[in-house]
Structure 1
Amino acid sequence: MSKSNTAEQTGFGSAFPVNPDALDRSLHATAARFTAGLSPIALSQAWWDWAAHLAASPGHRAELWASAATKTAAVLSGPAAGGYAEKAQSDVRFDDEAWRSWPFSFWAASHKAQEEWWAEAVTGLRGQSSAHEKVNAFAVRQMLDMASPSNFMATNPEVQRQTLREGGQNLVRGARHLHEDFEQLRSGEPAPELSAFVVGDTVAATPGDVVFRNDLIELIRYTPTTEKVHPEPILLIPAWIMKYYILDLSPHNSLVRFLVDQGHTVYCISWRNPGPDDRDLGMDDYIDHGVMAALDAIGRDCPETQVHATGYCLGGTLLSIAAAAMGRDGDDRLASVSLLAAQADFTEAGELSLFINDSQLALLEDMMWKEGVLKAEQMAGTFQLLKSNDLIWSRMLRDYMMGERSEPNDLMAWNADTTRMPFRMHAEYLRRLYLNNDLAEGRFEVRGKPVSLSDIRVPIFAVGTERDHVAPWKSAYKIQALTDTEVTFVLASGGHNGGIVSEPGHPYRHFRIHTTPDHAAFVSADAWAELAERHEGSWWTAWAGWLGERSLTPIKASKPKLAMLCAAPGSYVLQD
């Protein structure tokens, strides 16, 4: 539509020579720069819902006043502080012995009482929508976390003790750390302490070759390390929100290297880092030019054999869609499907879903519309808020007040190696899956026809992690209710990344595992947890056994048919 036609339809004629939609989007995108990409309208709607219902509930207000008086009296009662002292001691922020002495014990207990009171204030209010209740509880928790006495030198005995011990040198180091971090943020250059982790050398270093490339992926085939290999290769489909080598970190914790050493032929997709010209890449492109193109290439390289397909995070969601479409169309190239910290039903998608509503998505889409992509720094703030104590406030305390730096590791280096997301794909992903839940409810279309996860007829191995703030394990568990096939579900210790990168020998790891046969009656997540058997160690070994049971007898490794394009890790992973 031309600008003149658009103007005429709005009634402004030639007096309004610009596209009104473009004007609105540009203004919204500009405003988003000052709100960290969060919609102030969405937040205000949640606040007004709470405030209006609270104003109309005098009985509830009286109850809150009484609760405040009771809690205040309890905190003022002395060392016992009505149980709040014990609650403070169980909080990692206040576990140092110095927090047991006055006045620090009083401040810690007061903070725990405030947390409890505000949780009562924003929840349980009749008439407030469940979605707004969760948003308000989250917002209040962020403000309380920021106001914690552990975050201020004047109220933190550990910082005071360190400052006296070092004569203030910890604060000098902290100021230097702050300056270094500011300069690194301004320049966009990697942090110097992560320079030891070099892609293709110390990380993403498992030997292999790129054997296929298109405009979206490079397909890496890894070199076998055993004389005999299982005939069925494994295809790893990582999330495109970050670089693929979360699955191939250092040699000691590389999932790729582990699988190769178990006698598997392993392929892995490396996604291209999209730019503004890729704004129109959509979910269909990621299915057709991603998963299906990789399966086609593997079929040429290892003909007449099925594939164990494995998806991590968004890659697992994409694999679920592709596997459902293959089942619908009678495509039998999959031997099994493994889903690592991946969701297919988004009705309980964790706190990330608090940022997914029509108002928030409209703002996010306008940000991406202007740039063509969603940049990594625009995503980082949201993920940090989900674990603000760990990712923001504890780091400020450690780095800037205690003057300490965490020992750099490969996971930190991977996390700093960011990527972008195309406008169309990310908008489709958030609207069709997070907001509308189209996949779980049978409305998601592939090639013009809806897919159903019940069409997946191969066995599924699904992994959730106990402290996952991106894909909560009970959400990942819902694959049990959406399919009729055999599902082996594992609940592993750790979080979204650390629980997946859980190599054998990693200390303090454990997991629960239980298999539900095909066509079995559905068992709730809590009931499953009672049935599942607990094991110490890494879930990788259980998965390796599961894959081995569903693979044919190993054979002598044959010469691959696809020619090498370049050595692993390829060129796409090196793109800024």
Structure 2
Amino acid sequence: MADKGKNTTSGTQAGSETSSVGAYVVKDPEAFARNVARMLEELGKAASAWVEPREKGEVSDTVSEPMADMVKTFSKVGEYWLSDPKRAIEAQTSLLTGYFGMWSESLRRMSGEDETPRAKSADKRFSDPDWEDNPFFEFIKNAYFITSDWANKLVSESEGLDEHTRHKAEFYIRQITSALSPANFLLTNPELYKETVASNGENLVRGMHMLAEDIVAGKGELKIRQSDASKFVVGENIALSEGKVVAQDDVCQIIQYAPLTENVLKRPLLIVPPWINKFYILDLNPKKSFIKWATEQGHTVFVISWVNPDERHAKKDWEAYSREGISFALDTIEKATGEREVNAIGYCVGGTLLAATLALHAQEKDSRIATATFFTTQTDFTHAGDLKVFVDEDQIASIETAMEKSGYLDGSKMATAFNMLRASDLIWPYVVNNYLKGKDPMPFDLLYWNADATRMPAANHSFYLRNCYLENNLSQGRMKLAGKTLDLSKVKIPVYNLAAKEDHIAPARSAYIGGKLLGGDVTYVMSGSGHIAGVVNPPAAGKYQFWSDGPKNAEFDDWVAGAKETPGSWWPHWHAWIRSQSDEEVPARKPGGTKLKPIEDAPGSYVRVRV
């Protein structure tokens, strides 16, 4: 009886192994061969879409420049390890020791000596059970982790590197290890392998077709789709808040939103969004819209909708964006409402421009902005995060040379840079899903907005990169605007300074340090999540948290340690702060008032211009 039981168990295991192996065996070779041929045909179309604009001179590749910088950076890391033979041998021994340990463990598992269940990886790239259950794929995964950890250790333990070089080396290592993950390749990803076998390669046919479409959409560059763009139309099911464009110039349109309360705060609210993306991140849909929510709280909301520039805007610099953007908006608000004093919000680079404008206004005795709110804004770029990797004299000079030809920086360049900051979330999952699984991405309004890129005028972008990221002039009192040298300490108005804890674009520490440069009372608040979700967090969602009321004049870490944590959205906390500055109310105002004739319905025409 015991033997029969044992045999039954063995038979079950054998059947399971056969079933597992069967998932990797092509069932219909003829159908598979046909699909391989179709896949190659689609791949040929993708190649043609890539080559054609280059043959016509419409696209010129600059791959050699970042590659040269990466090689230059890694050569400095290599110099440290190779300059001492003993150190080099220790580094190689460390890697080999990891490989030998992994090999021994794999042999024990394959021989049945080690039957300890393996814990499932927390890394979502390796969620398929066969990454643990199949010795081949487990070996590949473990080899990848050992090699990645070793490469990161080489950089972190290199001595004598300047801070910028170390930062670049760490960033480039992350990009390489993200790209070389076995999860990104058909033959080394069990989920992809099984899916290809099960569909006889249909997934690859669909994937290569999508690849060709995305290269065509990118006009010779790969424009990875992160969302189903066909499901969204600006002004129809996204950016829906009711309002009117009440003024416009070469740089922007000014939108005034219709009131949703009988009375409104006397001080209107002006929102200065970044021009690197479009303003409707604050009006994605009625449930997520900060604009709609602010209107419901009794704010008369005005928003700057920046132009999507072309060669005509090449000379529009920071002064133009300050004068023809913020100052133009203030003039418009006064005409529409009769009010001189406003509450202003600046988001990201829009906040940096707002801070510079406030410093300029302080010298010009322009007191129209009574309070300022900064959303994830930097004025001191010492701790500016991974975007600093792209900023040194050589790289800026290269960007400026490219912008001279067209008068602007193509939006896809900035979009790629932002995606690279989180390549494991924003690039490679979509490569796998779209081109290897052959699946359309899900419709997602946030990622639709993220892909709706904008160009940057040459003069504006050059000024920003040099004065902020490269030379940090605003924080050092060296930035010049309209012929005046700016001093942030002269900005005496009350400020609400919002950062996001997990922000990779404007780190919370950076926002905090920059806020201390201002000369007035600064209320610092740190939200949960990142650069977007930390800001776009409506109270009804009940998500995340925020920290406030940390010790005054403390260092950042001490402020965080002593701050009060509150569950949920920071939006009501901000609104209470606004009312504490001035809560006088007046009857609700219609867009344009009596002096301005509305030009068109919100969200206007500027925001609809696509790259």
1:336 aligns to what SS in structure 2?
strand
| Alpha-carbon separation, structure 1, partners of 2:444 and 2:528 | 19
User: 1:73: which partner in 2?
Assistant: 100
Stretch of structure 1 that moved more, 449-458 or 122-131: 122-131
Aligned residue type for 1:146:
A
User: 1:438: which partner in 2?
Assistant: 473
Taking structure 1 as the reference length, the TM-score comes to 0.87
Aligned counterpart in structure 2 of residue 210 of structure 1, from 231, 241, 245: 245
User: 2:25: which partner in 1?
Assistant: none
User: 2:130: which partner in 1?
Assistant: 98
Describe the shift of the 1:196–1:72 C-alpha distance in structure 2 as closer, same or farther (beyond 3 A). closer
1:505 aligns to what SS in structure 2?
helix
Structure 2 segments unaligned to the other structure (5+ residues): 1-56, 110-116
Contact kept, 8 Å, 1:37 with 1:364, in 2: the verdict is: no
Aligned residue type for 1:234:
L
Q: Which entry has the higher C-alpha Rg, 1 or 2?
A: 2
Report 1:370-389 matches (<5 A). 370-389=405-424
Stretch of structure 1 that moved more, 269-278 or 222-231: 269-278
Report 1:560-575 matches (<5 A). 560-563=593-596, 564-575=598-609
User: 2:304: which partner in 1?
Assistant: 269
Contact kept, 8 Å, 2:543 with 2:569, in 1: the verdict is: no
User: 1:536: which partner in 2?
Assistant: 567
Contact kept, 8 Å, 1:36 with 1:381, in 2: the verdict is: no
Give CA-to-partner distance per residue, 1:281-309, whole Å, 9 cap, x none.
11111111111121122123333452110
1:126, CA displacement in angstroms?
Answer: 2.3
Aligned residue type for 1:174:
G
1:151, CA displacement in angstroms?
Answer: 1.1
Give CA-to-partner distance per residue, 1:151-206, whole Å, 9 cap, x none.
12222122234345545444444334334333433489997932332222222221
Describe the shift of the 1:404–1:257 C-alpha distance in structure 2 as closer, same or farther (beyond 3 A). same
Contact kept, 8 Å, 2:267 with 2:339, in 1: the verdict is: no
User: 2:279: which partner in 1?
Assistant: 244
Aligned residue type for 1:273:
N
Describe the shift of the 1:88–1:75 C-alpha distance in structure 2 as closer, same or farther (beyond 3 A). farther
Give CA-to-partner distance per residue, 1:541-568, whole Å, 9 cap, x none.
2222222222323332246243223222
Aligned counterpart in structure 1 of residue 265 of structure 2, from 230, 253, 268: 230
Describe the shift of the 1:185–1:480 C-alpha distance in structure 2 as closer, same or farther (beyond 3 A). closer
Aligned residue type for 2:296:
D
Give CA-to-partner distance per residue, 1:108-137, whole Å, 9 cap, x none.
222111111111212332222221122122
Stretch of structure 1 that moved more, 111-120 or 156-165: 156-165
Report 1:387-402 matches (<5 A). 387-402=422-437
| Alpha-carbon separation, structure 1, partners of 2:595 and 2:572 | 30
| Alpha-carbon separation, structure 2, partners of 1:531 and 1:96 | 42
Aligned residue type for 1:441:
Q
User: 1:110: which partner in 2?
Assistant: 143
Contact kept, 8 Å, 1:41 with 1:359, in 2: the verdict is: no
1:407, CA displacement in angstroms?
Answer: 1.6
User: 1:123: which partner in 2?
Assistant: 156
| Alpha-carbon separation, structure 2, partners of 1:475 and 1:31 | 39
| Alpha-carbon separation, structure 1, partners of 2:65 and 2:346 | 29
Q: Does 1:155 align with 2:188?
A: yes
- How many residues align? The count is 541
Taking structure 2 as the reference length, the TM-score comes to 0.82
Contact kept, 8 Å, 2:228 with 2:444, in 1: the verdict is: no
Report 1:107-506 matches (<5 A). 107-186=140-219, 193-506=228-541
| Alpha-carbon separation, structure 2, partners of 1:119 and 1:169 | 38
| Alpha-carbon separation, structure 1, partners of 2:513 and 2:128 | 40
User: 2:28: which partner in 1?
Assistant: none
Describe the shift of the 1:383–1:275 C-alpha distance in structure 2 as closer, same or farther (beyond 3 A). same
Structure 1 segments unaligned to the other structure (5+ residues): 1-29
2:338 aligns to what SS in structure 1?
coil
Contact kept, 8 Å, 1:340 with 1:463, in 2: the verdict is: yes
| Alpha-carbon separation, structure 1, partners of 2:451 and 2:278 | 10
1:223, CA displacement in angstroms?
Answer: 0.6
Contact kept, 8 Å, 2:251 with 2:325, in 1: the verdict is: yes
Contact kept, 8 Å, 1:88 with 1:109, in 2: the verdict is: no
How large is the Cα RMSD of the aligned pairs? 2.8
Describe the shift of the 1:93–1:448 C-alpha distance in structure 2 as closer, same or farther (beyond 3 A). same
| Alpha-carbon separation, structure 1, partners of 2:80 and 2:193 | 44
User: 1:18: which partner in 2?
Assistant: none
Contact kept, 8 Å, 2:240 with 2:603, in 1: the verdict is: yes
1:260, CA displacement in angstroms?
Answer: 0.3
Contact kept, 8 Å, 1:246 with 1:411, in 2: the verdict is: yes
Aligned residue type for 2:153:
E
Describe the shift of the 1:112–1:245 C-alpha distance in structure 2 as closer, same or farther (beyond 3 A). same
| Alpha-carbon separation, structure 2, partners of 1:95 and 1:156 | 11
Aligned residue type for 1:381:
T
Describe the shift of the 1:37–1:457 C-alpha distance in structure 2 as closer, same or farther (beyond 3 A). farther
Stretch of structure 1 that moved more, 369-378 or 65-74: 65-74
| Alpha-carbon separation, structure 2, partners of 1:60 and 1:172 | 49
Q: Does 1:42 align with 2:69?
A: yes
